[in-house]
Structure 1
Amino acid sequence: MKNNTIYLEAAREKNRLKIGIHTSRDVIWHYEDLPAPMDKIEKTSVSMAEALNNASRKGCGGLQEFEKLKAVGQMLCDELLPLDIKEKLRKSEAEYLVLKLDDGLVHIPWELLCVDDKFLCQRFSMGRLVKTRQKIAESNERPLTKPLNMWILANPRGDLDIAGSEGLRLFQTMARLNQEEDMIDPCLDAEITPDEVKERIKSYDVVHFAGHAEYSSKSDQSGPGQSGWKLADGNFTVSDIDKMASSSAMPALVFSNACQSARTDAWERREKTDEGSFGLANAFLRSGVKHYLGAFWEIMDEPSSHFAHEFYGLLSNGTPMGKAVREARTNLIDKYGPDTCWASYILYGDPRISYFAENEAPRKQSAPEPAITRATATRGTLFNYTLNTAKLKEMQTWLTVFLTVIILVSGIIAGNYFIQGFSLNQKIRIQELLTNQAEKKQKRTEALFRELTKITNLPAEQQNAKVLTMAMIFDSQLSVSNKKKENLAAFAIQNQLIEHSRFKILERKSYDIILRELIWEKPEQLKLLMPKVLLFLEVYEDEEQSLVLMRLVDKKTGTVIDNLFEELDVNKPILAQKKELSENLLRKLAERYPLRGLISEITENKVTLNIGYEAGVRMGQWLRVVGKDTFLKVISVESGTSSARVTKGKNNLKKRWEVEVIPHL
């Protein structure tokens, strides 16, 4: 039986190297203890990275840089590998090569050692396992169950259009995996802050970052703790990750598709101290991440985006991690030639692990729709559906000819009729897809509530008749561009609800994330205010149209109150349309949950009510005395009370009479 995996183990003791190669079936194996010019090797590795950085900044990275890279790979191979290990690597037919390194060797690009004119990362599907003297966080094992939760952070600073497109394309690809069953639940975000990342990252199984990263070495004044992701309002740094290490599980897989996101110094820990991590890879792995994928040097936007798409396409088809990286490298070489971006990627973690078992991988569609090829620019919905552009163009061409004939025969009116009919059908299709997506989220959220109930005692629902509570479940699924921001639709709706309704918004982030965090932490007592109403938000947007679904659900009964659709102007900012977006929602809530109170005091000039600002009373609102033809207008509001004057009807009011707010009057 052929060995599928070989292990290359290396350990450093000052300027000596202990290195050996073996298989999993070997009970005993040979290693060599040999001198190694580590200073020379380190200087060569640094100068190679800097040379490739400079080439990338100039927009090049072609044949000349490739030849330099190969020369360095051959030199490192000669310095690090004895002759017999070279021979074993040359003759091996294994699929996987696992590097078992100690923490003093992680900064060397082992994947680029060149044996017989071929890099190791081309010969084998590779991954790194590291032995370190650093402290490692003891975290709970993260259960990976379908659907996997995936967080895509794309173009967070708004200055990398290709990274934004990478995020949107990746989101669409992941969403289409759910054709037959729920495989993955993707969430796309753009302009996000470090605090939001710290708050939400542990809610996801897979995290993909596409944007700028900053690398800081131990020789820099700021130190390696300042390496990190560049976000909209500051950086998410290595020091931040170190502070997050705890019993709460981190994501299983993190892919930092950013410049120098896998570059590091040696992980040297001084005796009896722990000065923090050396780079993003070190920090994420110490905090509990099982697989980390990043770049050793600065990478070009377009090739790196293509690599990411190829990698996730392979991974989602059941390909193990290391093999997906290797084949994505090959695809990148086929497309871009000797561009050195393909060689930059480094994988930490067991390369044989698959996040989607082959028997669970989505079957390939035999029909031409709705498949997407890399050569086809497509535009469709973000949820389990895409428009086949070839078909669409063919339809448009046919329709144009047909309309021309109709116009010649019957005039422009008939032509307009057909155009409107086509648009209406497309809009109905999108509405159905958004509704189906919201229904899936509703079922998952209800399951989270049930699971939480099993592990802790949920508080009895004590709803104040004057104050109602609402929680929102949303995924920020807007397109990523310089004109759009994540969470804008949710923020606009929350803003209007706070200002114009009696509902208290429990959290400013997606409520299902809070539920997942509580389930993982398994609290003995739960101090969580329960919502009366759930609002599921779904957004579809392309270049031509924008559609928002707001699905209102009564949390106690699970009854769907209504599915409200709003069409927005794609040429106007979302926040500028918050009134139009929320108007029907506010009216529906007011009708379903009317604000009522009692008359507590009557004087000659005013009527005092037992409801105030906290209950949703606002200046200028109109009220009707229930069962009477008498109307009031609010003239002053306090926290728990308000005052009104009679504007219509008889003034012979009585205490304890009930009044009801008239919405939108």
Structure 2
Amino acid sequence: MCSLRNFPLALIALLLNRMHWKRGSTSLKSTRQVSMKNKMARTLCLEATLDKGRLKISIHKPDDVIWSYEDIAAPMDRIETRCRKMIETLNRATGEGSAGYSDVLTKLKAVGRMLCDELLTPDIKEDIRKTGAHYLILKLDDHLVHIPWELLCIGEEFLCQRFNMGRLVKTRQKIAQSSNRVLTRPLKMWILANPGGDLAGAGLEGLEICRCMDRMNQEETVVDASLDSDVTHDEIREDIRNYDFVHFAGHADYNSQNPGESGWKLPGGNLTSRDIHKMAGGSAMPALVFSNACQSARTEAWKWKKDVKDDSFGLANAFMLAGVRHYVGTFWEITDEPGSRFALEFYEHLLSGRTVGESVRLSRAALIQEYGPDFIGWASYLLYGDPTSGYFDQKEKTKEPEKPELATSPNPAKDHTRGKWFGSSENTAKSTKKRDWLAPCLAILGLFFLVITGYYIYKPDFSRPPVDSETLKILQAQASKKRERIDQLFKELELIAASPEALAYDEVPSDDWTSGPLTLAMDFDSQRCFLHRGKEKLIASVIETQILEHTRVTLLERISLDIILEELKRANSKLVAPKNRLLPDLLTAKLILFLEVDLSESRPFILMHLADTKKGSVVDVLIEPLETDQPVLAQKERLSKNLLEKLNNLYPLRGRISGVTGKEVRLNIGSEAGIKIGQRFRVTDKDLTLEVVSIQPDTSTARAEKEELTLEKGWRVEAI
């Protein structure tokens, strides 16, 4: 049984009754090698050394006793500049979300081809292109570790997509001899999840990995896993040698100027690379460390200095020098949910008996399948260590690891009913048979007031028992606590912002024709399946982008409302100079789009409830099938088509001509209503079209396409 030490009870409760799992058949074995015969046939070594601006590079088989190398010029300044720009671009794209991925893959391939041309000779490229090998071992010297060799691109394929890859490094650093780790049943694993307390996804990742280990132990104890959340720098240094595997899910710092200060972020002080390096030479370190954090394997060239004895060049360098056999980390920043998905896939494959290198490659493939190749998080991961090594026997080599078995429903359209706020007619006796999914309470803001409402979605699931009452109480308590915090923040902001007189405003004259601002908040917090939570957020992001591009809607942030209010409170404190304060001027949400994703294997679909807050009712319910064999980004038009049509038809953009100057007219609507430059309007009951040439917040200027018709003030217009 996985030991949960110092781990929040609420996070543990969130995982209850999430999914059923099937267990594969595996057994433990000490670190093993693929048989020598298979290894020779299936493995290539790419060896590279830099000496005085010249690159000595060769490709050979592991059992070759002699091989040739080629000596070529290496323009390292140009190569290093390209590498740095590539990492900066990828970090920026990750920060921007789906909007930043549109052309990143194309750029990544272009840089990968350029690096391939600079680093590999035509003969070596041809050997790689023709080989039938499954494994590619990179044997690098310490001048070349900062180059993303895994992303060299030959044709349309990156090396890391085709091969099970790992890095072996020769360095001028002094290597202290550590004791060899003897692996015995059961393997001991330490899972350090969300030590900073601010990455809920990392906490759930730790719980899911713990559950994964428990499934392995149904017949016999194969992995003895311990899960910690509240852990300090000193505790890790004291206890890390007691474990065979260590998994870290949290924040990491990368310091390019002083790489020895790079490390894991922990309460009370970071565990730095320099700290880890100091552990070299003692008793045996863990065999495998998976550092699932941003830039946890990024490094500069390892520039050795004779007079510095304990210098290190980042986390990967420090752990390998300390005696770790396999280190998995990331080259650039990663997002929460896809990173967790990669880790879970990795352990599923590793526990099924696959090698470490193959587990990394298959996890990349899973992310590409889940999020599409344009979502470049799959390319961030790399492995230090022998990729042909594994830790478990594989009894059924052709069998893929079992995935979570999600409950399916015969009729998705009837599985989700409208919540009580929107007039659900479910009676209490019937609802006890259903699985209750508690969606987070959404805040609907006035200028300085808040209406909080709850929304529940019920899904029949007779294959599993309903959520137990204790779990439901915890979820309800969390929602209630957040609601109370938001209420309190609003009260404090009201006191700070202004007197009651300052809250007075001029009432806008009533006009049944003219459109006002159209605001929408989206709720997409999933309670269904942790493994697919990242996909739900990607789908939500894609739909948000389509709404912004093709409608007049203004999207409001509601998921992180408490964080926004907290920042507004700070911005108006006495510690901030008056000229720098931010007076709150929040918008109300006219519409709320509740989004749920059901990824049942037989028939995945997206369910969208569009609710009008003023009317207090659901405007429409849309169900869109989700194709599992296509990336989400490739389905964006189809998934959002009906929703966009509904928004444009139900909430058209209308206004009136408020002034006429020659063939130009002034309209009484502007950017606040959603007008865009170049937008065309038709004049009702007239054969006349207008095109917008300039906009202001509450007015706009348009030009008539026909000159023979006299324009008049008061005419009604509607967007085409």
TM-score range, shorter chain: 0.5 to 0.7
Distance 1:360 1:231, change over 3 A: farther
Structure 1 residue 233, shift from structure 2 partner: 1.8
1:58 corresponds to: 96
- Which residue type is aligned with residue 157 of structure 2? K
Contact 2:277–2:310 (CA under 8 A) maintained in structure 1: no
Instruction: Please show how residues 52-451 of structure 1 align to structure 2 within 5 Å.
Output: 52-60=90-98, 61-217=100-256, 220=257, 223-337=258-372, 338-359=374-395, 372-373=404-405, 400=429
Instruction: Please show how residues 613-632 of structure 1 align to structure 2 within 5 Å.
Output: none
Q: What are the superposed Cα offsets for residues 601-651 of structure 1, whole Å, 9 maximum, x if unpaired? A: xxxxxxxxxxxxxxxxxxxxxxxxxxxxxxxxxxxxxxxxxxxxxxxxxxx
Distance 1:181 1:108, change over 3 A: same
SS of structure 2 residue aligned to 1:19: strand
SS of structure 2 residue aligned to 1:244: coil
SS of structure 2 residue aligned to 1:196: helix
- Which residue type is aligned with residue 286 of structure 2? P
Contact 2:352–2:401 (CA under 8 A) maintained in structure 1: no
Distance 1:357 1:403, change over 3 A: closer
1:451 corresponds to: none
Name which of 51, 65, 68 aligns with 1:13.
51
2:14 corresponds to: none
Q: What are the superposed Cα offsets for residues 401-441 of structure 1, whole Å, 9 maximum, x if unpaired? A: 5999xxxxxxxxxxxxxxxxx99xx99xxxxxxxxxxxxxx
| Rounded Cα–Cα distance in structure 1 between residues aligned with 2:232 and 2:340 | 22
- Which residue type is aligned with residue 159 of structure 1? D
| Rounded Cα–Cα distance in structure 1 between residues aligned with 2:152 and 2:199 | 32
Structure 1 residue 364, shift from structure 2 partner: 9.4
| Rounded Cα–Cα distance in structure 1 between residues aligned with 2:334 and 2:121 | 32
Structure 1 residue 275, shift from structure 2 partner: 4.8
| Rounded Cα–Cα distance in structure 2 between residues aligned with 1:203 and 1:360 | 31
Contact 1:191–1:231 (CA under 8 A) maintained in structure 2: no
SS of structure 2 residue aligned to 1:277: coil
Structure 1 residue 164, shift from structure 2 partner: 1.0
| Rounded Cα–Cα distance in structure 2 between residues aligned with 1:38 and 1:8 | 19
Q: Which of 61-70 and 289-298 deviates more?
A: 61-70
- Which residue type is aligned with residue 49 of structure 2? A
- Which residue type is aligned with residue 242 of structure 1? H
| Rounded Cα–Cα distance in structure 2 between residues aligned with 1:327 and 1:155 | 25
SS of structure 2 residue aligned to 1:146: coil
| Rounded Cα–Cα distance in structure 1 between residues aligned with 2:405 and 2:346 | 15
| Rounded Cα–Cα distance in structure 2 between residues aligned with 1:35 and 1:136 | 30
Structure 1 residue 72, shift from structure 2 partner: 0.7
Q: What are the superposed Cα offsets for residues 311-348 of structure 1, whole Å, 9 maximum, x if unpaired? A: 11000000100000001000100000121110000100
2:461 corresponds to: none
Contact 1:269–1:275 (CA under 8 A) maintained in structure 2: no
Structure 1 residue 170, shift from structure 2 partner: 1.0
Structure 1 residue 294, shift from structure 2 partner: 0.2
SS of structure 2 residue aligned to 1:58: helix
Q: What are the superposed Cα offsets for residues 286-310 of structure 1, whole Å, 9 maximum, x if unpaired? A: 0000000000000111111111110
Q: What are the superposed Cα offsets for residues 465-522 of structure 1, whole Å, 9 maximum, x if unpaired? A: xxxxxxxxxxxxx99x999xxxxxxxxxxxxxxxxxxxxxxxxxxxxxxxxxxxxxxx
| Rounded Cα–Cα distance in structure 1 between residues aligned with 2:63 and 2:212 | 39
> After TM superposition, where is structure 1 displaced by more than 3 Å over at least 4 residues in a row?
363-366, 371-377, 399-404
| Rounded Cα–Cα distance in structure 1 between residues aligned with 2:384 and 2:431 | 58
SS of structure 2 residue aligned to 1:135: coil
Contact 1:192–1:233 (CA under 8 A) maintained in structure 2: no
| Rounded Cα–Cα distance in structure 2 between residues aligned with 1:63 and 1:144 | 46
| Rounded Cα–Cα distance in structure 2 between residues aligned with 1:375 and 1:278 | 47
- Which residue type is aligned with residue 93 of structure 2? A
- Which residue type is aligned with residue 174 of structure 1? M
SS of structure 1 residue aligned to 2:237: helix
| Rounded Cα–Cα distance in structure 2 between residues aligned with 1:72 and 1:374 | 40
| Rounded Cα–Cα distance in structure 2 between residues aligned with 1:54 and 1:364 | 35
| Rounded Cα–Cα distance in structure 1 between residues aligned with 2:264 and 2:408 | 31
2:621 corresponds to: none
2:615 corresponds to: none
Structure 1 residue 131, shift from structure 2 partner: 0.6
Q: Normalised by the size of structure 1, how large is the TM-score?
A: 0.55
Contact 1:158–1:482 (CA under 8 A) maintained in structure 2: no
User: Which blocks of at least 5 consecutive residues in structure 2 are unaligned?
Assistant: 1-36, 410-425, 434-463, 480-526, 528-720
| Rounded Cα–Cα distance in structure 2 between residues aligned with 1:119 and 1:170 | 29
Distance 1:180 1:44, change over 3 A: same
| Rounded Cα–Cα distance in structure 2 between residues aligned with 1:160 and 1:22 | 44
Contact 1:260–1:295 (CA under 8 A) maintained in structure 2: yes
Structure 1 residue 228, shift from structure 2 partner: 0.2
| Rounded Cα–Cα distance in structure 1 between residues aligned with 2:215 and 2:367 | 23
User: Which blocks of at least 5 consecutive residues in structure 1 are unaligned?
Assistant: 378-396, 405-421, 428-477, 484-542, 544-665
Distance 1:59 1:92, change over 3 A: same
| Rounded Cα–Cα distance in structure 1 between residues aligned with 2:330 and 2:97 | 17
- Which residue type is aligned with residue 349 of structure 1? G
Contact 1:239–1:276 (CA under 8 A) maintained in structure 2: yes
Distance 1:36 1:197, change over 3 A: same
SS of structure 2 residue aligned to 1:283: helix
Distance 1:375 1:39, change over 3 A: farther
Contact 1:159–1:482 (CA under 8 A) maintained in structure 2: no
Q: What are the superposed Cα offsets for residues 345-391 of structure 1, whole Å, 9 maximum, x if unpaired? A: 01000001111121499x9999xxxx8337899xxxxxxxxxxxxxx
Aligned-residue sequence identity (percent) comes to 56
Distance 1:374 1:139, change over 3 A: farther
Once superposed, what is the RMSD of the aligned Cα atoms? Answer: 3.5
| Rounded Cα–Cα distance in structure 2 between residues aligned with 1:482 and 1:267 | 47
| Rounded Cα–Cα distance in structure 1 between residues aligned with 2:107 and 2:189 | 37
Structure 1 residue 196, shift from structure 2 partner: 1.0
- Which residue type is aligned with residue 46 of structure 1? R
- Which residue type is aligned with residue 373 of structure 1? E
Distance 1:482 1:253, change over 3 A: farther
Contact 2:348–2:401 (CA under 8 A) maintained in structure 1: no
Q: Normalised by the size of structure 2, how large is the TM-score?
A: 0.51
| Rounded Cα–Cα distance in structure 2 between residues aligned with 1:238 and 1:376 | 47
| Rounded Cα–Cα distance in structure 2 between residues aligned with 1:364 and 1:346 | 22
Structure 1 residue 122, shift from structure 2 partner: 0.7
1:42 corresponds to: 80
SS of structure 1 residue aligned to 2:270: strand
| Rounded Cα–Cα distance in structure 2 between residues aligned with 1:182 and 1:275 | 39
- Which residue type is aligned with residue 87 of structure 2? A
2:71 corresponds to: 33
